[in-house]
Amino acid sequence: MAVGVWTVIEMRPNSCSHELCEDTQQDGVSTHKSSSLILVLMVASAAIGGTLQYGYNLAIMNAPTTYIQTFVNETFLERWDIQLENYQVTLVWTIIVSIFSFGGFVGALIAGPMTIRFGRKKCLLLNNIFLMTGALLALTSRAAKSFEMIIISRVLVGINAGISMNVQPMYFGESAPKHLRGAISLSSAVFTAFGVVLAQVVGLREMLGSESCWQYLLASNAVPGLIQLVTLPWFPESPRYLLIDRGDKDACINALRCLHGCEVPNSELKEILEEQAETKGMRPRRPWELFTDRSVRWQLISIMVISSAMQLCGNDSIYFYASYVFKEAGMSNDQIQYATIGTGTCEFTACIMCNLLIERKGRRFMLMGGFILMTIWAVVFTVALLSEGYISWMPYLSMTCVFTYILSFGMGPAGVTGILPTEIFNQRARPAAYMIAGSMMWLNLFIIGMIFPFLVSGLRAFCFVPFGAVCLLSALYVGLFLPETKGKSLSAITSEFQKLNFKDLDKRFPQEIGAQYHQGKVYLSTAL
């Protein structure tokens, strides 16, 4: 099958064949514009019911905090005639909030098998089952007088977010043209940040953030899911999945023609065929198999380190700390809810800027630059917190640090982290790699969410020193060990990593290993 497709490509290397463009009678410019529009609409459709849900459900719980705590207390009083203490109400509330991370962890684990069995697009569509069920439980929890339904709802929307955070970047990375792969994949982070802003706006008291509407606020995440269910079926599946996993040549060509335009498929199919040849006869890898495979050792270390750093840098925690900083700066409670929207807007703006710059500056530059800037702002933040009792304008510097820290996060780690597994793992290992990366992200989100209050109370003004240390170490790792992947084929990227994976063997067998580097393939002979 691969030889047959390759023959078709080689016969027409510089032209648009009738087979590839039989439906296109317009000139090249019109075709390019049409395919670009379809690609943009596909990205919007997948993301609005995908990673947008992660940001939306992460931030949506801030507004109804007091109302849900009151609901929990009233429920206990009515059922068992028990008046809960403040710490007990806080404990139940903490479970409601943090159980989202547990759901995300479960979603990350099942995302890989789902993408292999159903494909990238169908997996995103089926993922809405968890979302809709969770929204229904949240909507009816108040009438049923059951806070347990809210907990189950948070688990389900967490599963939805965990799946979409893994599948959507994979879908985008496999569907986008190589020269736009970074920008298209980074749109996942843009929609995540937009979800945060949207949740902050919808959660205003003037909208759904009032005492009478909190159940509708929790169920409002169903709206983006409905939009996806209506629109995404009209767009094609990942071309790489169609050809490599399903062996469907015609469907792959139609998908490329639809997404890229008729002048592109020759080069795109060539790269896909190369990857198909390398993985021919291989079954999809399992996560534990990657840990024992020396040929992907540094690829695996890289995604684990950077996925963990994305949460351990404390960016998500700073959203909770922002209210305290704004209050110290002299803002009233009414003003704080609008200032909090500014934090989400900062990350959204930064992600858009990163989207525009990533194909110019590269992944490595954006990632390392973001971590370095975050390290600097963590130091400034600490100095500002130490000086608040002595200098009157220091609270305003602290408030500024909140925005700049989030901006720096959005410029690099927020978006680039999700791209890496697509670019450094082949089709057979990619789902397993995303499972591992997603699991690390969700586990560390849970850990940092649990220990952050203790860091604040124990370290006080020095609470962001650990986060600054994580950012500094992450920047050093990226600078020393992560190769640039911008505009490179999988073979070229693999070749870069083999210099690390087989560094000791390179000295013993320089000619053999050198040939492997040149071909960008891995050969583990029994002699080694």
Percent of the chain with pLDDT over 70: 84
Asked whether the domain spanning 285-503 has the same topology as the one spanning 32-235, the reply is: yes
- Check if the beta carbon of residue 372 is closer than 8 Å to that of residue 475: yes
Work out the pLDDT band at 32, boundaries 50, 70, 90. Answer: low
Residue ranges in 51-127 assigned as alpha helix (H): 51-59, 65-80, 86-118, 120-126
Which residues lie below 8 Å from residue 158, measured CB to CB, with a gap of 6+? Answer: 57, 99, 100, 101, 102, 103, 104, 105, 106, 107
DSSP-derived 3-state class of residue 144: helix
pLDDT tens-digit map of 313-325 = 988 766 655 666 6
Q: Which DSSP string corresponds to 77-94?
A: HHHH-----HHHHHHHHH
- Check if the beta carbon of residue 104 is closer than 8 Å to that of residue 442: yes
Mean pLDDT of all residues in 265-285 = 72
Among the listed residues 73, 110, 107, the one whose alpha carbon sits nearest the alpha carbon of residue 88: 73
- What are φ and ψ of residue 208, in 5° steps? -110, 5
Q: What is the pLDDT of residue 305?
A: 95
Among the listed residues 1, 19, 491, 46, the one whose alpha carbon sits nearest the alpha carbon of residue 246: 1
- Mention the CATH class of domain 32-235: mainly alpha
Q: Which residues of 303-342 are buried (b: 16+ CB within 10 A; e: fewer)?
A: bbbbbbbbbbbbbbbbbebbbebbeebebeeeebbebbbb
pLDDT tens-digit map of 116-154 = 889 999 999 999 999 999 999 999 999 999 999 999 999
Which residues lie below 8 Å from residue 242, measured CB to CB, with a gap of 6+? Answer: 248, 251, 252, 255
Work out the pLDDT band at 493, boundaries 50, 70, 90. Answer: confident
Domain boundaries, the chain: 32-235, 285-503
Among the listed residues 383, 253, 398, the one whose alpha carbon sits nearest the alpha carbon of residue 330: 398
Q: What is the DSSP letter of 206?
A: T
Max avg pLDDT among 110-124, 180-194, 345-359, 392-406:
110-124
Q: Of the ranges 211-215, 482-486, 518-522, which one carries the lowest mean pLDDT score? A: 518-522
Kindly tell me if the per-residue pLDDT of 199 is higher than 50: yes
Q: What is the pLDDT of residue 35?
A: 63
Kindly tell me if the per-residue pLDDT of 495 is higher than 70: yes
Q: What is the pLDDT of residue 328?
A: 59
Question: pTM, whole model, 2 decimals?
Answer: 0.79
The overall average pLDDT reported for the chain is: 81
Mean pLDDT of all residues in 377-396 = 86
- Mention the CATH class of domain 285-503: mainly alpha
**Rounded Cα–Cα distance for residues 26 and 166 (Å):** 37
Per-residue three-class SS string for 300-342: HHHHHHHHHHHHHCCHHHHHHHHHHHHHHCCCCHHHHHHHHHH
Work out the pLDDT band at 266, boundaries 50, 70, 90. Answer: low
Radius of gyration of the chain (CA): 24
pLDDT tens-digit map of 89-107 = 878 888 888 889 899 999 9
Which residues lie below 8 Å from residue 32, measured CB to CB, with a gap of 6+? Answer: 261, 263
Mean pLDDT of all residues in 260-265 = 60
